[in-house]
């Protein structure tokens, strides 16, 4: 009977997610829509937990819902007030065509998905991961895939993050800082920030053998920076000048360095020596965390920090 | 009997469809960015549902790692899109002034 109870929970979660998604997409006010999206992200984290994906649940709660929500709200603040263009105000034929096409696509995808579920589609990579886990240097299978078996993907992901950061930095100066908050918020931030830093450190360390890792830790550290920024503090925890640039490229840099150094003994790129794997993974993760934090805080600022260009501006003046 | 993975997989497909429809039909840039994020969550849900192999067997870690990567890439793309939107807003203001 426990199975049935869980199925009821699944049904409730699924209905809730569906309603929140529709509300977030078609809400009259965009501000409400963004708040609903943040709630949707948190409920989704519960669904990940239900599907035994705690690593993804942590990342979704911290990045997908938290940082993305903060970014969307900051984007909303950038706009000058104007009357909201209402949803789907398009000719009926456009709405109908797109809707039918999307329904057709969804039905095809459902058919493919159900077919794949019903018929065994051959050996899974998951079994190989479990078999080789002992050689990976860590005991959390997700970390093993991310930083050992498929380290290429993670390296390229850090490169994508860096590319997005460069794109944002090229767009101009940072957003104006929010107004200074009241004493209650300042007090709260003074409590929250050290707590976030400690939790991030814990997640980074524990990622080797339990849910956690560089992404979750980086997102939490970035959240600390964003919270400090939101309270109206001119600082955001990032160093200034050359150091912040070094931090932004540290993830890719150290990863590449370790990858190239591992070729020294005749091995392939990113093929770590077996008895060093755990240490190397931790080393990469520490710098990946710092790079992810720096990138997320900088993209939240929305452009070049004032502290970068002040020297140049003075020189020009 | 409806299985957990089937339920969430189909939910993921519906969410992706809703996100896609809104991303095409909405006119407002930020609404479109939000819709693409919902589309992404739908796709991730299909991946994780495929990885789920019942309550007793450990799930497949490869889709989990892919989705983790995907979440970070999605937020990076969101940030870049919002940055471009902000730039457009500034340019619009400049043309309005003239």
B53, B64 in Cβ contact below 8 A? Answer: no
**Candidates A52, A165, A167; nearest CB to B52:** A52
Task: Reduce the secondary structure of A176-225 to three states and give it as a string.
Answer: CCCCCCCHHHHHHHHHHHHHHHHHHHHHHHHCCCCCCCHHHHHHHHHHHH
Sketch the domain layout of chain B as residue ranges: 4-97
- The rounded distance, in Å, linking the Cα atoms of B64 and A53 is 7
Q: Is B27 in Cβ contact with A90 (below 8 Å)?
A: yes
Confidence band of A213 (pLDDT split at 50, 70, 90): confident
**Candidates A25, A30, A44; nearest CB to B18:** A25
Q: Is B27 in Cβ contact with A89 (below 8 Å)?
A: yes
| A31 found inside a domain | no
Q: Is A53 in Cβ contact with B16 (below 8 Å)?
A: no
Residue of A nearest to B86 (CA): A78
Task: Using alpha carbons, list the distances in angstroms from residue A240 to A197, A245, A247, A304, A309.
Answer: 19, 9, 10, 11, 11
pLDDT at B97: 58
Lowest mean per-residue pLDDT among A47-56, A134-143, A304-313: A304-313
Long-range contacts of B20-27 (CB under 8 A, 24+ apart): B20/A102, B20/A105, B21/A98, B21/A99, B21/A102, B22/A25, B22/A26, B24/A98, B24/A102, B25/A87, B25/A88, B25/A90, B25/A94, B25/A95, B25/A98, B26/A25, B26/A87, B26/A88, B27/A85, B27/A89, B27/A90
Domain span at A297: 138-309
Name the more confident of B57 and A265: B57
| A152 found inside a domain | yes
Say if residue A316's pLDDT is above 70.
no
The pTM of this model reads 0.89
What is the end-to-end Cα distance of chain A in Å, rounded?
A: 75
The dotted CATH code for B4-97 is: 1.10.287.3510
**Candidates A59, A74, A172; nearest CB to B71:** A59
**Candidates B24, B64, B86; nearest CB to A98:** B24
- Give me the residue label for tokens 């400690």: A198
Report which of A200, A219, A190 is spatially closest to residue A292, judged by C-alpha positions: A219
In tens, the pLDDT along A104-121 reads 999 999 999 998 888 876
In tens, the pLDDT along A147-203 reads 888 888 899 999 999 999 999 998 888 888 777 778 888 888 888 999 999 999 999
B26, A88 in Cβ contact below 8 A? Answer: yes
| A118 found inside a domain | no
A242, A313 in Cβ contact below 8 A? Answer: no
> Coil, helix or strand for A108?
helix
Confidence band of A315 (pLDDT split at 50, 70, 90): very low
Percent of chain A with pLDDT over 90: 33
Q: Is B89 in Cβ contact with A78 (below 8 Å)?
A: yes
Say if residue B87's pLDDT is above 80.
yes
Per-residue DSSP letter, A167: H
Query: Which of B68, B70, B88 best probes binding to A when mutated, by most A CB atoms within 10 angstroms?
Result: B68
- The rounded distance, in Å, linking the Cα atoms of B4 and A49 is 12
H helices within A51-87, ranges in order? 54-59, 68-78
Say if residue B1's pLDDT is above 70.
no
| A229 found inside a domain | yes
**What number of other Cβ atoms are within 10 A of residue A23's Cβ?**
16
Query: Which two structure tokens, joined as six digits, stand for A70?
Result: 């903060």
Confidence band of B91 (pLDDT split at 50, 70, 90): confident
In tens, the pLDDT along A236-277 reads 777 877 888 888 899 899 998 888 888 877 777 778 887 888
Query: Which of A33, A44, A113 best probes binding to B when mutated, by most B CB atoms within 10 angstroms?
Result: A113
From chain A, the residues in CB contact with B47 under 8 A are: none
Say if residue A313's pLDDT is above 70.
no
Query: Which of B35, B38, B75 best probes binding to A when mutated, by most A CB atoms within 10 angstroms?
Result: B75
Handedness of CA A239, A293, A70, A42 (dihedral sign): negative
pLDDT at A83: 52
Name the more confident of A290 and B95: A290
| A15 found inside a domain | no
Question: Chain A closest CA to B98's CA: distance in Å?
Answer: 17
| A197 found inside a domain | yes
In tens, the pLDDT along B10-26 reads 999 999 999 999 999 98
Q: How many domains does chain A have?
A: 1
pLDDT at B77: 93
Query: Which two structure tokens, joined as six digits, stand for A138?
Result: 């860590």
From chain B, the residues in CB contact with A64 under 8 A are: 37, 41, 71, 74-75
In tens, the pLDDT along A32-75 reads 999 999 999 999 999 999 898 999 999 898 888 889 999 999 88
pLDDT at B70: 92
Length of chain B equals 98
Question: Chain A closest CA to B91's CA: distance in Å?
Answer: 11
**Candidates A11, A71, A102; nearest CB to B79:** A71
| A76 found inside a domain | no
> Coil, helix or strand for A282?
helix
């Amino acid at each position: 009977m426990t199975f049935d109870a869980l199925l009821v929970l699944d049904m409730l979660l699924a209905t809730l997610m569906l309603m929140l998604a529709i509300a977030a997409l078609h809400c009259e006010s965009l501000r409400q829509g963004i708040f609903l999206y943040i709630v949707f992200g948190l409920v989704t984290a519960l669904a990940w937990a239900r599907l035994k994906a705690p690593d993804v649940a942590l990342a979704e709660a911290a990045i997908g819902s938290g940082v993305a929500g903060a970014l969307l709200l900051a984007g909303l603040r950038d706009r000058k007030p104007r009357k909201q263009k209402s949803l789907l105000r398009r000719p009926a034929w456009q709405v109908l065509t797109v809707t039918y096409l999307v329904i057709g696509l969804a039905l095809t995808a459902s058919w493919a998905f159900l077919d794949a579920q019903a018929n065994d589609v051959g050996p899974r990579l998951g079994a190989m991961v479990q078999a080789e886990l002992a050689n990976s240097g860590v005991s959390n299978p997700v970390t093993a895939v991310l930083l050992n078996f498929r380290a290429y993907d993670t390296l390229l992901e850090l490169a994508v993050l860096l590319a997005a950061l460069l794109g944002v930095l090229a767009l101009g100066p940072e957003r104006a800082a929010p107004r200074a908050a009241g004493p209650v918020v300042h007090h709260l931030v003074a409590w929250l920030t050290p707590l976030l830093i400690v939790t991030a450190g814990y997640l980074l360390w524990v990622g080797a053998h339990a849910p956690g890792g560089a992404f979750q830790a980086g997102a939490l550290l970035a959240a600390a920076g964003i919270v400090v920024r939101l309270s109206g503090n001119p600082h955001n925890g990032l160093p200034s000048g050359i150091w912040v640039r070094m931090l932004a490229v540290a993830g890719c840099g150290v990863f590449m360095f370790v990858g190239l150094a591992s070729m020294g003994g005749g091995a392939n790129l990113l093929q770590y020596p077996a008895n060093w794997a755990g240490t190397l993974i931790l080393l990469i993760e520490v710098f990946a965390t710092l790079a992810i934090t720096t990138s997320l805080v900088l993209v939240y600022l929305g452009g070049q920090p004032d502290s970068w260009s002040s020297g140049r501006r003075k020189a020009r003046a | 009997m409806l299985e957990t993975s089937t339920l969430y997989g189909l939910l993921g497909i519906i969410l992706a469809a809703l996100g896609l429809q809104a991303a095409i039909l909405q006119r407002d840039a930020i609404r479109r960015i939000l819709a693409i994020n919902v589309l992404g969550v739908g796709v991730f849900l299909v991946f994780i549902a495929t990885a789920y192999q019942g309550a007793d067997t450990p799930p497949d870690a490869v889709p989990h790692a892919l989705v983790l990567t995907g979440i970070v890439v999605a937020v990076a793309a969101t940030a870049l899109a919002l940055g471009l939107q902000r730039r457009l807003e500034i340019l619009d203001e400049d043309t309005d002034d003239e």
